[in-house]
Amino acid sequence: MKLRDVAVVGEIFADHVFTGFSHWPRPGEEVIARSYVRELGGGSVNTACGLSRLGRRVRLVGLIGDADFDWFERRLAEFDVGMDGIRLEQEVTGTTVSVSMRDDRTFFTYPGANRGLPDLLAVPSVIADLAAARHVHFAMPLSRELASSMLPPLRAAGCTLSLDVGHSPDWLRDPANVATCREVDLFLPNATEAEMLCGQAGAEAYMAWALENGLPRTVLKRGEQGAVAVAGGVSHHVAPPVIEVVDTTGAGDAFNAGLIDAWLDDEAPGPALERACICGALCSTAAGALAALPHSPQLRTLREQTYRS
Ligand SMILES: Nc1ncnc2c1ncn2[C@@H]1O[C@H](COP(=O)(O)OP(=O)(O)OP(=O)(O)O)[C@@H](O)[C@H]1O
Ligand SMILES: [Mg+2]
């Protein structure tokens, strides 16, 4: 019996989100935001919090700057996620400044403490800590080198594996990483990322590519169109529930949480996608990636209303 359900490992950020500008500034000009929020960020944080909200025992593994310990501890505690897997660095926490205009968002990012991830993931006790979970989710562009050193021991320890590399053009365009896509149980791109990987737009093209390249199963996130999965030669298309979208930040990470939750329950691909799509959709009903992550009863209710009525 494993100690934990899921270990989530990856980049962690402090997000600074500025909204409500009258116009984009010219060089040398100052513009004033109407609102500002500071929130924990990064796919690892979002997916870990999503899984914990669904009642899973989660370990979050990554690095932050020591000055942010109290803030992270307090905020993560609201999701029942602990700090035991987080290493403190004498560096600043990875930082993203997000500037939202009406139709577009611009990001400025400094990796900070996340630069220590490859070293952290080479430490045997860290691998052992990950291996104490039934499932390990990577929310980072996992290098080929790290995949080669980490995935076999995790497999040997009986862990199942998932990977969301996020918007990482260099990783997605490097053919060496196809082997990594094959070596995880669930590779979780969105439509843009899938296109970078297979060189062609569209769900059909990606599904054909995944089949040709021997991925064990295919999952593709398609924003408001929902998601597609192919398993055992059968494809499943699931549309998300219709919701009032406030902010889709983190929808993909919440989707991952729902899908991993279903995976741990050994759910069939169609119903698993439903669970994931509901999590992605509900996450989009409030500002930020964390505020509207569902609890299990909420997920169950919306699922019955959406797919069983
Ligand atoms: N407008 C929407 N309405 C309903 N559901 C949505 C909407 N946008 C996203 N979702 C749900 O969230 C899932 C993931 O969204 P998306 O495909 O945008 O992932 P992503 O681009 O990885 O997101 P992220 O911004 O977190 O990286 C979708 O498959 C869908 O189920
Ligand atoms: Mg994503």
**What is the pLDDT at residue 182?**
97
**What is the pLDDT at residue 308?**
80
Task: For ligand 2, an ion, list residues with CB under 5 A.
Answer: 190, 252
Distance 169 CA to ligand 2 centre (A): 13
**What is the pLDDT at residue 105?**
82
**Percent helix, percent strand, percent coil in the chain, to nearest 5:** 40, 25, 35
Single out the residue of 72, 48, 79 nearest to residue 162, CA to CA: 48
Q: Which two tokens stand for residue 125?
A: 């006790």
CATH architecture of 4-21+34-307: 3-Layer(aba) Sandwich (3.40)
**What is the pLDDT at residue 103?**
73
Mutate which of 284, 290, 299, 302 for ligand 1 pocket (most atoms within 8 A of beta carbon):
284
Distance 189 CA to ligand 2 centre (A): 7
Q: Which two tokens stand for residue 51?
A: 């899984």
d(C-alpha 65, C-alpha 62), whole Å = 11
The list of the chain residues with pLDDT below 70 reads none
CB 219 within 8 A of CB 192: no
Distance 292 CA to ligand 1 centre (A): 14
Distance 148 CA to ligand 1 centre (A): 30
Q: Where are the domains of the chain?
A: 4-21+34-307
Amino acid (one-letter) located at 294:
P
Q: Please tell me the residue having the least CA distance from ligand 1 atom 18.
A: 223
Q: Which residues line ligand 1 (CB under 6 A)?
A: 190, 221-224, 226-227, 240, 243, 245, 248-253, 255, 277, 280-281, 284
Rounded (10°) angle between helices 203-212 and 191-198 = 50
Q: Which ligand is nearest to the CA of 246?
A: 1
Nearest atom (ligand 1) to Cα of 283:
12
d(C-alpha 154, C-alpha 127), whole Å = 7
CB 221 within 8 A of CB 238: no
**What is the pLDDT at residue 233?**
87
**What is the pLDDT at residue 164?**
98
